[in-house]
């Protein structure tokens, strides 16, 4: 068990939070940090297998001395997304935060990208965010503003995972970049349409984060380019992104909505 955060330092105490794609990588780190901050975490993923290896996310959270629940959810299936929210609310009474993090990759330039793979990447990375936002906002609008958020009248918070490649091209990776540009737009639109109803919606855009993902993510050429593009003298760690997600999920970020927070070591500034 790691040293627990003192009660006063916990920024998500008793908040009910879903993190999609939380079996591995950045989502796993977000789920663990949310739990350390006192949240009831639902780990929503298609698997409990950890790409980078080690015990499942729920086991890690339990070893850290907290509790979490795995719910098998494919974000490309609307019935499963609705069941994920319904089950969470049945168990915990409300939904305070959803982090839309699940993603797939299929890095191809236009002429090598067949339509089925284009559809699949968009269906998970963008369609999944649409479905999860829709199910979450429906629930959030039906629940009163939470006591902890009451002064701001916040009914719920959304944190979407974007990317620097939603803003600038990911060489040879068309569908992924398009999906992330869509996530950025969707974030602004949901924030705008539902601000008056107490929904806070933001995105985090990581730069190059070293997770366990293989393939192109660890291609020496990709790593070399990322290292040269990143002013900060190291690449990112999943915990860098998790810290930003905690901030955007917390009551400290209420007047911040429709924003995309770069967590990229300065990639987009250079």
Ligand X SMILES: NC(=O)c1ccc[n+]([C@@H]2O[C@H](COP(=O)([O-])OP(=O)(O)OC[C@H]3O[C@@H](n4cnc5c(N)ncnc54)[C@H](O)[C@@H]3O)[C@@H](O)[C@H]2O)c1
Q: What residues act catalytically?
A: 176
Query: What's the min distance (Å) between Cβ of 256 and ligand X?
Result: 19
Residue 222 lies near ligand X (rule: CB under 6 A): no
CA-nearest of 116, 179, 155, 164 to 257 is 155
Backbone angles phi, psi at 255, to 5 degrees: -85, 0
Sole binder of ligand X in the list 56, 68, 74, 98 (CB under 6 A): 74
Is there binding between residue 51 and ligand X (CB under 6 A)?
yes
> Shortest gap between Cβ of 75 and ligand X (angstroms)?
4
- The tokens 């967590």 sit on which residue? 263
State the minimum distance, in angstroms, from the CB of residue 90 to ligand X: 20
Instruction: Give the contact letters, 227-266, x = binds to ligand X (CB under 6 A), - = no.
Output: ----------------------------------------
C-alpha dihedral (26, 80, 90, 98), degrees to nearest 10: 30
Would you give the binding string for ligand X spanning residues 182-211, x where CB under 6 A is met?
------------------------x-xx-x
Window contacting ligand X (CB under 6 A); options: 87-95, 101-109, 113-121, 130-138 = 101-109
Residue 81 as a binder of ligand X (CB under 6 A): the answer is no
Q: 75 vs 140, which CB is nearer to ligand X? A: 75
Task: Decide if residue 213 touches ligand X (CB under 6 A).
Answer: yes
Using rule CB under 6 A, residue 61 touches ligand X: no
Looking at the Cβ atoms of 107 and 154, the one nearer to ligand X is 107
* b/e map 95-134, b = 16+ CB within 10 Å: bbbbbbbbbbbbbbeeeebeeebbebbbbbbbbbbbbbbe
Using the rule CB under 6 A, give the single segment among 5-13, 44-52, 108-116, 150-158 that binds ligand X: 44-52
State which of residues 19, 26, 58, 99 lies at the interface with ligand X (CB under 6 A).
Answer: 26
| Of positions 39, 85, 122, 124, contacts ligand X by CB under 6 A | 124
Binding site for ligand X (CB under 6 A): 20-21, 23-27, 45-47, 51, 73-76, 101-104, 124, 161, 163, 206, 208-209, 211, 213
């Amino acid at each position: 068990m790691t040293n627990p955060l003192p009660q006063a330092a916990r920024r998500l105490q008793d908040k009910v939070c879903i993190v999609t794609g939380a079996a591995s990588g950045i989502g796993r780190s977000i789920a663990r940090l949310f739990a350390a901050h006192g949240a009831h975490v639902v780990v929503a993923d298609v698997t409990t297998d950890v790409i980078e290896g080690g015990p499942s996310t729920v086991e890690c959270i339990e070893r850290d001395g907290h509790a979490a629940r795995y719910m098998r959810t494919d974000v490309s299936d609307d019935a499963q997304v609705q069941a994920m929210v319904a089950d969470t609310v049945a168990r915990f009474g409300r939904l305070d935060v959803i982090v839309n993090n699940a993603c797939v990759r299929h890095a191809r330039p236009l002429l090598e990208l067949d339509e089925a793979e284009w559809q699949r990447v968009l269906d998970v990375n963008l369609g999944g965010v649409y479905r999860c936002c829709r199910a979450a906002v429906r629930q959030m609008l039906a629940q009163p503003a939470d006591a902890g958020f009451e002064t701001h009248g916040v009914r719920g918070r959304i944190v979407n995972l974007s990317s620097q490649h939603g803003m600038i091209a990911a060489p040879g990776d068309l569908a992924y970049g398009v999906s992330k540009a869509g996530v950025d737009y969707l974030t602004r639109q949901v924030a705008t349409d539902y601000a008056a109803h107490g929904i806070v919606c933001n995105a985090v855009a990581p730069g190059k984060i070293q997770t366990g993902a293989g393939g192109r993510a660890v291609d020496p050429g990709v790593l070399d380019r990322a290292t040269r593009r990143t002013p900060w003298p190291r690449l990112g760690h999943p915990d860098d992104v998790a810290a930003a997600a905690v901030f955007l999920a917390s009551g400290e970020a209420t007047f911040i909505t429709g924003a995309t927070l770069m967590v990229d070591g300065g990639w987009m500034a250079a």
